Structure 1
Amino acid sequence: MKEIIKKRSNVFAHNCVKLAVELPKSRLGNHIEGQLIRCSTSVAANYRAACLGQSKRAFISKLGIVIEEADESIFWLEFLRDEGLGTDTYFAQVLKEAKELTSIFIASRITALKNLNQQ
């Protein structure tokens, strides 16, 4: 399962980068471009790091970062939508994937915490 989520988070990051670089070259577009690229690529990078964790506590800690970055990705994608800059089907699919990945990361962290507490 971890390999599937690694792949999905990587594809998600690439899709966000593709959306970001197509934004209008304006003050707002440039700002959101940078923010979306940073947080979405951080999701993929930090999830990979979480999977390499030395301990269950390290995994849980890294997942917390992943969740925060995924939620920030959702924020910027929703902001784009609300500004009328994200209206096509491709954009909607990327936003949907952001929400699904965030739910998966939250569930994984809850499970990992339960397992840690049962030891």
Structure 2
Amino acid sequence: MTEKEIFIERLKKRTKKFAVDVIKFCNSLKTCKASSVVTYQLVKSATSTGANYRAVCRARSNTEFFSKICIVVEEVDESEYWLEIINEANLTNDRDELVRLTKEANEITKIMTKAKNSSYNSKN
């Protein structure tokens, strides 16, 4: 495998792990009406991040790649938003995991944004 292929596989695993970790974290949240709404949104965006990144890896053109990577950036950024809501609304007692997931969402956002910007610049 090339360095690029190894990086892609690692990122696939990383986005999948992020989704699974978010699901586990959401299962530990305080039970209330607000947490059920926030949990639903967070699980949707976190799992969509990994699923759409897999679609990015199968893109058939630069245009399709750019379109899909934009979705990934939106979804992971949305995940970070919901994690911030959980923090500010005090919906968890597990601050360490919340901080870790927020940091991971931020790092994935940076990676995907860089890929998006590189793709955009190569198109123009």
Offset at 1:70?
0.6
Task: State the partner residue of 2:31.
Answer: 25
* Aligned positions, number: 117
Q: Structure 1-normalised TM-score?
A: 0.93
Which runs of structure 1 show a deviation greater than 6 angstroms over 4 or more consecutive aligned residues?
A: none
For 1:59, the aligned partner's letter is F
Q: Distance in 1 between matches of 2:38 and 2:18?
A: 16
What's the CA shift for 1:60? 0.6
1:78 counterpart = 2:84: yes
Q: Name the structure 2 match of 1:116.
A: 123
Give the TM-score normalised by the residue count of structure 2: 0.89
Matches within 5 A, 1:1-119: 1-86=7-92, 87-117=94-124
Structure 2 residue identity aligned to 1:61: S
Q: Percent identity?
A: 34
> What is the deviation of 1:55?
0.7
Structure 2 spans left out of the alignment, 5+ residues: 1-6
Unaligned runs of 5+ in 1: none
The answer to whether the 8 A contact 1:20-1:32 is kept is no
